[in-house]
Every structure is written in structure tokens, then in C-alpha cells.
Structure 1
Amino acid sequence: MEKKRIIKLLKILSQSQCPISGPELCTKLDITVRTLRNDIKECKNEFLQHGIQIISKHAVGYTLQVINEESYYHYLEDMMKEESENQMLIPIYPEERVNYLIRMFLTQNDYIRIEDICDMIFVSRSTLSNDLKEVREKLNYFHLELETKPAYGLKITGSEFHKRSCISQYFYHTNGNDDMFLSQTKSSQQQEEISKILYETMVNQKFKLTDIGFHNLVIHIMIALLRLKEKEQLTHYKYDESIKNTKEYEIAIQLCREIEHSFHVIFPDIEIYYIALHLSGKKAVQYSSNSLFMNHEYEILMTQIIKEIKDKYNIDFTADMDLQTSLSLHLQPMMNRLKYGMYIQNPLLEQIKTENPLAFEISVLTANIIAKNYQVDVSENEIGYIALHFALAIERYQKQGPKKNIIIICASGMGSSQILLYKIKQKFKENINSIYVTELYELPNIDQSLYDFILSTVPIPFPTQIPAIHVQYFLDNQDMISLSEFFKNQNEMSFVDQYFHDNLFFNDLKGKTKEELIHEMCTYIKQVKDIPNGFEEEIFKRENYSVTEFGNMIAMPHPMEPMTNETFITVGILKKPIKWKHQQVKYIFLLSIQKNSKDALGLLHETLSSLVYDKKAMQELEKDSSLTNLKKILKRIAEEQKENDIDTLFG
């Protein structure tokens, strides 16, 4: 069994709160049931030697039993070093090659010849050329370029600040946000010392960071120490003198002095500046709807955003002061990040896009307004965080929501914390007295005797005085059962017959690319529907913000904003899947929502959440790709949702 699959298997099992069925595990690993059984049998003795055992129970599933934690973590560390840190294994798949190439360029100061790269990773020049297109796209996100010099080759160019942001992503956040593995393979005495200094500085200065912001700043300082030790020359970076007058700069000076004393280094002024930028872009503000007097600039911006949402989606957030307060608080550090070109990671992005698409669409509209007003690029990671605020606002809009005292701990800041807060209030409002939201590192300083239990989206590595429940960012069924024990609306697919019609159903499309298929479908739509000029252009504009591929081979393209006088869905089913951007797509649902219609509140969410997560339904559609069968499947899913009364993200 290859090490990559062992790592993925252990990761899946270790992060699950309950047994995982064989078919589900096989789907996640992209292998057959027979292969899974053979792999576990083959590695049984190796696992036992390293302090772990995989238990299989008939009709229940697979669980991971850790017998010896120290041996287990050493085992993980050895595999991760071989697999990624030391880059001993040659990448096979395109995504692996792209990440490998980025790491390689980041560790080289000189040009690398294309021929040498081809020999290094055993690919043809044409294959490498395709990979380099994606490398350039990913580097561009960090404001870096892949410079080509004839007869010399390729190398990364850009500011040291942006190189470090990229290093942080590709060396310290490999394969997303694998905290469980990274905490074991990246931990060191140096990291612990930096964390201690940073925490003490934040407490002394009464400055708050989110848990993720805290972790990322520790990583930034580790990278800074490494680069200074290697005597890396800092490239020119435009220095904003105004930041010297901020509290963040004062804190950065104190922090650097403490680190200099502990690690016997000298931080140049530019390093203090970098840390001040990090602080300004990652600070957390304690939520309080009564304590914020909104910045006049943001008040004007919020008024414009709320008006645009009302005009285009017929949703009026004018009276929702919670939204205006929380979003304004979010905008302050976000605008600093945008101003200085700082990268931010959003581990919830794909789940947010898939499970609450309406909030994401409203956030795309918001990002477009911000981009126009401030001449900045708003990434889809930022859009995802904005969407958390709108998701809560939509829930309040649809159903106004709160007796136990609860502490909520969430690593990624106010947006995610507020999701949990409102979800809990909605389901258990009769049982709640108060909820306090905080970060993990502040928990030991809180008087826990005043509360009944803790909800945390991250494991708590130390004993607590009161019961603690580990839950997902988005509460699943098991979480709800656990919470119900402590505490001792359903969507309808009514649009199925109304919006799916034979004259907008195509299973013989000829396009080979995303662009060709969208153009082809728009051409067909024009023959049967009255669509305005610029309809197709608005679809591509929306795709440029964030592609509408959602997994399970489904794409959901649509205009940037509601444009037509009626709601309709155009369905395209391909003979063979095509690569949309990152994922394979075979089923295209091109939506157009009626202007000033409330249909958008349910339509996007219903279609995506019902099909994207239902592999069985898509297998049925694969066998019979007729419109009649598609409508039958959607109606059946709606009935199952009524019977089971299972919540999705914000339903």
C-alpha cells in the first residue's frame, strides 16, 4: 500500500467522530472495496508495530484505535517527511506536480532550465507546459510571477513579503489545512517559544487574534527567522509609512524585541513592518452589537451593498443591524489585507459555496461593489468569509430567532463562531441563557464555573472544568444528537415542474471547454427565451470571480446578478465529462433567476445541496439521463428530506 494512501486513510479515520462505512471510505480514497480490504490486511502488522489498529465491524464500519500515541505520531512524522517535506517521491498527478513545482521554485534563487525540470519529474515538455500554466495562475494569486529568461530557464520573481505568503501556504499548509498532521510534523521547540512570546505580547497589549491568525503569525515568524538565517536579500517592497502610526506597529516592535532577545537575531525595520501588516490583517474584534459605532466610510458602503441586494435579490437587510455591525467589523482587517496584497486561506470555502450558494452569490455581488469602490481584487477566499455573515442574515431573514450557559470556541474567527451561535439558538433557543464566543488560547483564563459546557470546532488539548463537545464547523446529524442529549422547515422542490422544461434540456452538446459549452447553451436559450444583451458576458464575469463547479461532476453557471423576467434552468448533459477548471463536469445546470424574485432564496440551495451530495442519485441519472428521470430524482429527494427532517448547512 502506497504511503500517500496510508496517510489519507489515517487522516479520514482520525478525523471522524463515528465509524465510517466501507463504501464511504472507498469513495473518499477512490478505490474499490476489495482494494480497501487488501490494503488493511497488508498493513495490519505494520500498523500494530506503530501503535494503531483499524477495527472493522460488520454493518457498522471502520474505526481507528490508537494504542500507543507516541509511536503513532512518530510513524506519521516519518511518512509525512518522506512524502512531502523532503519531496523524495516524484509527483504523479497534475495537481501534485503543480504543488511540487511551486515548492521547487520557492527554494531556488537561480533560474532552472525547462529541460532539467522535465528530467527531474519525468514528464514531456508539452505536459510541463500545461502544468506551468497552472503554476503561473497560482503564483499570481500571491502577486508573484514565473519569469522566463531565454537560455537560462525559469524562476519566481516578486517581493519577499509575497514569497513568504506563498511559502507559508505550500510548505506549512500542504494539502489544505491538515492541522492534525501539521501539528505533529511541524511542531518544534522554536514554534512553542514563538507561540509563548506572541501570546504574552497579545495579552499585555490587549490585542485579539483569531486562532488561525495566531497560528499563521507564528508560522510567518518562523519563516522570517529561517530567511534571515539564510541571509536572504529582501527585494524592494512599497513601504506604507502610515502604518508606523498604528497600534499594530507598536505591538510589532515589542514582539520583535522579545524574539530578538530569545533567538539572538536582529530584525531589520522591514521585518517589523511585515509583522505589523500581519497584525492589521488578522486581528479579531469581539462581537458586540451595542458597542460599535460604524465607521462613516463603511456606513456608506453598507448602505450601497444593502440597496444592491434589495434591488437584485429582493431581500431587505435594512433593519438587520447585526449584519451591518458584524460585516463592518469584518471589513476593517479585510480592507487592510486587500490594500497590502495579503493572502488569506479559507478552509471552509468549498463547503460554503456548496451548502449555502445564495449567501455566496450575494457575497460575490458585495465583492464586486468593493472592487469598484476601492480598486482592489477580492479573492474567492475573502468572498467565502463574507458569505458567512450573509448566511446568518438570510437565516434571520427567513425565521427570526434565543437556558444553559455555553462557551463556543472556533478557530477561524467571528464568521464561523456566529454560524454555530445562531445554529444553536435556532434549534435550542428555549434551553439557552447565554453564549460566550472566544478563542482556544484564551480558554484557560475564563471562569468555566459560570458555564455549563463548551462547544469547540477544534480539539482541546488540555483538561476542562466542564464538559466539552467537539463539533464540526457546520453541525452534522451526530452533532445535533449529541447536543440534544445535553439539552434534554423544510425545503420543497416545488420548482421542479415549474422551471425544468423540454425545450431547455440538452444531452447532445458539442462544446469541449467551459467557454464553448456556456456559449452553446446561451445560443440555444436565445431561441426560446427573451434574454437581455450581455447575458452571456455576465455568466463569464461570475465565473471569473469563482468557478461554479461543485463536485459530483456538477457545474452551476449563472449571470453575475438576476437579469431575466422569469426564472428558468437550462440543463446540459455531456456524453463525456470535461475539465471545468479544477474538477470534471458532466452535468451543467445554467440558472437564470427572475429579477426581484424570492425564488433565489430556495432554488440555488435546493438544486445544489440535493444533487452535489447524493452520489446514488447521480448514478441513477447516469443510467437514465432523461429530463423525466431528473425530475423524478429531484422530487424523491424532496420527499426524503421531509421524512427525515435532516438539516443542511443553514436550513
Structure 2
Amino acid sequence: MIIELILSKQVVHYQDIMEYTGMSRKTITKYLNKVEAIVNQQGVELVRKRGQGIHFRGNTNALLAKFPALKDGSQSEEERRISIMTFLTQQSSPILLDDIADHFFISRSTLERDLNILKSSYGLKLTATTEGIQFKSSEGDVRRLIGQLLQSYWGQEIKQNQRTGKMVRTFKIPASLKRYVDKQTLDQMQRVLNQFVATLKVDVNEYQYESLLIHTTIAIQRIRNGEYISHLSSSRLNGITISPSTTKLAKMLVAAFGCTLPDEEIAYLNIHVAAIEDGYIDLAHNGIVEQEMVNWLRTVLSDYDNQLLRNLTLHLRPALVRIKNGISITNPYCNQVKTYFPVAFDHALALAMAITKRYRLQLTEDEIAYLALHFESFIERRKTSRSDVELVIVCSTGYGTAELLKQRVMDKLPNVNIVNTLSVSELMAGPVTADIVISTIPLRLNGTRVIQVTPFLNDHEIDVLKKLSQDVRKEKYAREAFVKLLSPNGIITNSSATNKQAAIIQITDQLQTHGYVDKQMQASALAREQVASTIIDKFAIPHGDINHVLKPTIGILTSKRGIEWDHERVHIVFFVALNRTVESQMDDIYSYFYSLIQNANRMAALTKAQDVQSIIEILAHDKGE
């Protein structure tokens, strides 16, 4: 950013850079040192002189040519956090926060925020002394951490070998993790595991293969470096029975890599092999398997069909084995699942809490998001066509053509209700009342959507009609369903709350006072917040158990100053308090709701709103659309 600014303005001052980047003068000075080192490599000098400003001296053509590559090579926030984490695992003694911040050219506050996110997202464990902070954990903790990072950030590609025709899978290792996993070891490990998997009598899914590949690759490299699982970290493994498959894999690893596997390493390896074998379900012989789990699911789910019970059982069996053994997986679509399937995610969250209570196992957000996909499939299966978008057909070429057009519409848009088919003379006789009018002649009507079509209704016209019907549904029905849930009694403007707990307490107190939720809702919402974060983009959408909703509503809390929420700052909190009385309208409510929060102008207007009525007006109308 600084290079780009100087190249564009030619001469800048500290204040210009501070305003452009939003950083302090002290931090800018650190970055300018970095800039100087970069431009010097291109034969350009960075001049910093009082009275002359900050500028480049020399031929900047080479720098201009190089700049796109410099820009593309800059780290994202996530990449920086990975670098910080790997940097900490490599330190043999405590290091001061200021020294770490200087090393990565970031402010101390940014570093502290990154460390908090690393602690919550990856379980990074740090000890703090007067000499600084240090990553002091067992060898097992180090491997778990590296494994999580790899699973989150390595890129997988599958391509067909041109000579043999076989499918080949390759992985791209992040640069910051190449110290722990090199490509040669990874490629050789894949060959070993492919042979091993072929000997098993069970199917190995993608999660299991990746987990085993990551663990064994890291283990071999750490063993080569003399970094073994210690007796202390593996004490919980004592007394376990080593699977014959584990013994077979250990022998294959020794033969392939020429190293010795201590008993602790074999016991640790056994965890991953056991997760594969214990989690396997043979559908050919078991049919609807695990009847005990199926029966339990019937007691905890409020609504289900046999397919949902079957799918959840098939998913949960290996998942619970995996979680029990401390094997984590990542879900690259977790945020999208939370955003686009909120009802399904809520059902999955409720099931996760029930699993914690019954099995004493804590599911991560990634695991919950995978469960949510099964619930979304169930929701989609239950959907029935709703003929609530009204359409009138106007045709000037005779009854036969009108009937053909009507049949085409019914076939391609089954959720549209055709209320009338009119000739031109019938149209002239009286007004038309419908959401959409399709006509074979040019036609203009006040306040009604009209589209001119051919009698044969081509594909382009069908697409336009589908889009129009979706717009009608959103405006006429979805907005109406959402706005009905708003009440001045459930809205708090410019709250003084500074953190998520205070915000949830304030909004639930308000809703309880006015009879929307019972007194248990507050505790329920706070408990759910501990299981999975309710941040979506820059907004928070907390909620509790639907059994604590007395009267459905959507509570709203705004804050101009902002509220600290899981290491982010939010300005708008929507408290979703819905129950089964609005179940048939749930899709409409969430459809309109998410179109609202994706509109930056309306959300900015909400934050600035001075009173409750202004908030309702902003949400109920298409201002800013």
C-alpha cells in the first residue's frame, strides 16, 4: 500500500501514509524500513528528509514493472497468522510481543488480536513471563497444531496421468509450513498410504485419508529430527490394543523411510487407524444401522424423516470416533453454510449440544456445519410448491395460442398461480389485478410488472419470468413476513454494551420484559454462543432455544462505537427469536433478512439511526436497494 501510494503521488508525508493506511507513525516507520529494503533491490532509493517529504529517487520503471508481483506476494491476514504461529513454534526461549510485532511489521494491537484468534481457532497454548511469551507444549500438541494448519491451507488437485491414465492427487504445502512437511516426503507417503488403504477391508473417506496422510508425514519428519512423542504426552495411550492394521502400516513406514518407530509413535498412529476402522459402517450388511443411535436421534430431533435419520447416523458414527480421538477436520464452507442455511445450522447446533450432553464430546463449528448440510437436505425435501405469485396472460392470437402459452408457463413455473387468460377485448373491458402480466403484444400497466413474450415462451423469456417471480415473492411475501416480526419494543438504539455478553443480556432483558421470550432465553443464548460463533460478516445474530420463545420476533441492538464479539467489532446485533408458529414462513423470513444484511448502505443507515422508528423504516422499505 505504501509503495503504491508513493508511486501514485510521487511525494508524500507521514500524515498522508497514516491517513491512507490507518496506522500510527511508529508503525509507518517500521514499514518504511521494509519498503526501503524492497526498493533498493530494484535500484531505487527511498528518501526520507524533513522538508522534502518521502519519495523515491532513481529509475522507478523497474519498480513499476515489479510492483504487481510485490502486491500479489503480500500476505493476507490468515497467512500472517499462520506465519506467526509457525514462528512461535520455532522459538526455543521467550520472546517479547514488541519484538514479534517488529518482526512481522505490524502493530502490537494487531499482534494481540492475531494471538487471540489463534488461541480460539487453533487452541494455540502460550505461557507468559516477564521475558515474553513462549509456545511450550508437548510434541503431540505441536503435531496437532501443524496438522490443523495443513488441513486448513493446503491445496489439493487431482489430475489424470497422460501416460497411464491413472488419477493422481497432489497437495500444495503453504510456504510457512515447508519446514515441517517437504514435498518429497509427502509424495512418498502418499504412495505408502495408497498401498496400505488398498489392503484394508473398509472404505476410507476423504477426511480420514487426509488426517492419516497429514499425521504420518509430520510424524516421519519429526522422528527424523529426533522429535518424538514424549512419555508424558502419550500417557493416555497406555493399555490400548494395537490394531493389526496399525502394525502393518508401521512396518510399511519403516521399510519406506528407513526409520525406527518407537512404541509411543505406533500407539499414536493407532488412533488414526482405529478412527477409520471403528467408524466404518457396512451398509450392505447393516441396512439402517446403529439402531441405538437412531432411537436416540428420534428423541432429540423435533422433526425428521427416515432419510435424515439414516444420513445423520452414517455421518455421526465416524465423526464421534474422530472427535473422541482428538482428530479434527476443517470445513472450507463453514461460513457459507452459516450464512445461506441458518435454519439448518441452528438445527445442527441443537443436535451438537445434545451430543455434548450425551457423549461428553465437543463438536467444532466445522463439524456442526457438516451436520447442517444433512438438515438442509431434509428441509429441501419437505418444501412444497406454493402458488402465491399471481400471473395473468394476455394473448392476441387466439384461444389455441393462449392455451399453449398457459401450458408452457405451468410447466416451467409450477409455483406461479395463473389467475386468468385474457384476450385483448377482455383486457380492454376492465382493470387487471395480478403480480405479473405476460402479454404477446406491447402493454403498459400502472404498478404492475409486464413482460412481452412470444407465444412459444423461449428460454430467455422463461428465465426473465423466473427472476420476476422471485422478486415478487421477496417483495410481496418475504418482506411482509419479516416486517411483521419487528416491534419498537424489541429494538435498542446506540447501546452502551461493549462486549457480546453484555449485548446479549441487554437485548434478552428487553425481549423478556415485553413478553417475547421467557427468562431462560438469556442463559440459552449465552450457552449457544459458547458452542459456535454467531458472527456473519460484520453482524452478530445470536439466538437461543426456540422453546424459550413466547412470541416470535427479531430483536435489534445497534452501537455506533461497536461491540467486541469474538475478536471482531460489530455495530448491529439481530436477536433471532423464532418458533414453530412461523415455521411455514421461515424461508421467506431468512430470504429477506439476508438480502438486508448484504446491503451495505442499509446496514450503515441502521448504525446511524437515532430512533426506533427510523430503524423499522429502513428495514421495511427498499431504501438503498
TM-score range, shorter chain: 0.5 to 0.7
Equivalent in the alignment of 1:453 = none
Task: Write the distance in 1 (CA, Å) between the matches of 2:151 and 2:579.
Answer: 45
Consecutive unaligned residues of structure 1, counting only runs of 5 or more, are 5-29, 31-74, 85-90, 311-315, 401-426, 429-480, 482-488, 641-651
Equivalent in the alignment of 1:455 = none
Out of 373, 380, 404, the position equivalent to 2:358 is 373
Check if 1:275 corresponds to 2:269: yes
Out of 293, 297, 313, the position equivalent to 1:298 is 293
1:259 and 1:622, CA in 2 relative to 1: closer, same or farther beyond 3 A?
A: same
Equivalent in the alignment of 1:521 = 507
1:286 and 1:139, CA in 2 relative to 1: closer, same or farther beyond 3 A?
A: closer
Task: Write the distance in 1 (CA, Å) between the matches of 2:289 and 2:616.
Answer: 48
Per-residue deviation at 1:267? 1.9
Equivalent in the alignment of 2:393 = none
Check if 1:146 corresponds to 2:141: no
Residue pair 2:556, 2:574 contacting (<8 A) in 1 also: yes
Paired letter, 1:343: S
Residue pair 1:365, 1:561 contacting (<8 A) in 2 also: no
Check if 1:106 corresponds to 2:89: yes
Check if 1:336 corresponds to 2:330: no
Task: Write the distance in 2 (CA, Å) between the matches of 1:497 and 1:127.
Answer: 39
Residue pair 2:246, 2:270 contacting (<8 A) in 1 also: yes
1:227-376, aligned counterparts within 5 Å? 227-235=222-230, 236-240=233-237, 244=241, 249-281=243-275, 291-306=286-301, 310=302, 316-317=303-304, 320-376=305-361
Per-residue deviation at 1:321? 1.7
1:129 and 1:204, CA in 2 relative to 1: closer, same or farther beyond 3 A?
A: closer
1:347 and 1:505, CA in 2 relative to 1: closer, same or farther beyond 3 A?
A: same
Residue pair 2:516, 2:551 contacting (<8 A) in 1 also: no
3-state SS of the aligned residue for 2:135?
strand
1:338-487, aligned counterparts within 5 Å? 338-399=323-384
1:152 and 1:355, CA in 2 relative to 1: closer, same or farther beyond 3 A?
A: same
Residue pair 1:103, 1:170 contacting (<8 A) in 2 also: no
Residue pair 1:305, 1:366 contacting (<8 A) in 2 also: yes
Out of 519, 524, 547, the position equivalent to 1:538 is 524
3-state SS of the aligned residue for 1:377?
coil
Equivalent in the alignment of 2:148 = 169
Per-residue deviation at 1:117? 3.8
Bigger shift: 265-274 or 591-600? 591-600
1:258 and 1:289, CA in 2 relative to 1: closer, same or farther beyond 3 A?
A: closer
Paired letter, 2:187: E
1:279 and 1:509, CA in 2 relative to 1: closer, same or farther beyond 3 A?
A: same
Residue pair 1:539, 1:559 contacting (<8 A) in 2 also: yes
Task: Write the distance in 2 (CA, Å) between the matches of 1:557 and 1:600.
Answer: 20
Residue pair 2:229, 2:265 contacting (<8 A) in 1 also: no
1:624 and 1:516, CA in 2 relative to 1: closer, same or farther beyond 3 A?
A: closer
Kindly provide the CA deviation profile for residues 419-440 of structure 1, in whole angstroms up to 9, marking residues without a partner as x.
xxxxxxxx99xxxxxxxxxxxx
Kindly provide the CA deviation profile for residues 17-58 of structure 1, in whole angstroms up to 9, marking residues without a partner as x.
xxxxxxxxxxxxx9xxxxxxxxxxxxxxxxxxxxxxxxxxxx
Equivalent in the alignment of 2:563 = 578
1:606 and 1:124, CA in 2 relative to 1: closer, same or farther beyond 3 A?
A: closer
Bigger shift: 593-602 or 372-381? 593-602
Per-residue deviation at 1:157? 3.9
Equivalent in the alignment of 1:137 = 120
1:600 and 1:167, CA in 2 relative to 1: closer, same or farther beyond 3 A?
A: farther
Per-residue deviation at 1:232? 0.8
1:230 and 1:221, CA in 2 relative to 1: closer, same or farther beyond 3 A?
A: same
Out of 190, 194, 208, the position equivalent to 1:199 is 194
Task: Write the distance in 2 (CA, Å) between the matches of 1:262 and 1:302.
Answer: 45
Aligned length in residues: 458
1:631 and 1:290, CA in 2 relative to 1: closer, same or farther beyond 3 A?
A: farther
Per-residue deviation at 1:370? 1.0
1:243 and 1:631, CA in 2 relative to 1: closer, same or farther beyond 3 A?
A: farther
Residue pair 1:146, 1:157 contacting (<8 A) in 2 also: yes
Residue pair 1:621, 1:630 contacting (<8 A) in 2 also: yes
Per-residue deviation at 1:549? 1.0
1:620 and 1:131, CA in 2 relative to 1: closer, same or farther beyond 3 A?
A: closer
Paired letter, 1:237: S
Task: Write the distance in 2 (CA, Å) between the matches of 1:545 and 1:130.
Answer: 21
Out of 550, 554, 560, the position equivalent to 2:536 is 550
Task: Write the distance in 1 (CA, Å) between the matches of 2:499 and 2:88.
Answer: 30
Residue pair 1:505, 1:570 contacting (<8 A) in 2 also: yes
Equivalent in the alignment of 1:499 = 485
TM-score (norm 1): 0.61
Residue pair 2:542, 2:573 contacting (<8 A) in 1 also: yes
1:533 and 1:286, CA in 2 relative to 1: closer, same or farther beyond 3 A?
A: same
Paired letter, 1:268: P
Per-residue deviation at 1:136? 3.5
Task: Write the distance in 2 (CA, Å) between the matches of 1:147 and 1:377.
Answer: 25
3-state SS of the aligned residue for 2:362?
coil
1:80 and 1:221, CA in 2 relative to 1: closer, same or farther beyond 3 A?
A: farther
Paired letter, 2:348: S
Per-residue deviation at 1:167? 0.8
Instruction: State the percentage of identical aligned residues.
Output: 23
Paired letter, 1:173: S
3-state SS of the aligned residue for 1:108?
coil
Check if 1:611 corresponds to 2:596: yes
Per-residue deviation at 1:231? 0.4
Kindly provide the CA deviation profile for residues 540-599 of structure 1, in whole angstroms up to 9, marking residues without a partner as x.
111111121111x32111114431221011112222433322433222111212366526
Residue pair 1:99, 1:170 contacting (<8 A) in 2 also: yes
1:74-113, aligned counterparts within 5 Å? 98-112=81-95
Per-residue deviation at 1:519? 2.3
3-state SS of the aligned residue for 1:524?
helix
Consecutive unaligned residues of structure 2, counting only runs of 5 or more, are 5-21, 23-65, 158-169, 386-411, 414-462, 464-469
Kindly provide the CA deviation profile for residues 175-226 of structure 1, in whole angstroms up to 9, marking residues without a partner as x.
xx65479627677333222112212221222432233432342222221111
Out of 183, 187, 197, the position equivalent to 2:172 is 183
Kindly provide the CA deviation profile for residues 490-537 of structure 1, in whole angstroms up to 9, marking residues without a partner as x.
664132332112232332322222222222223333442253222222
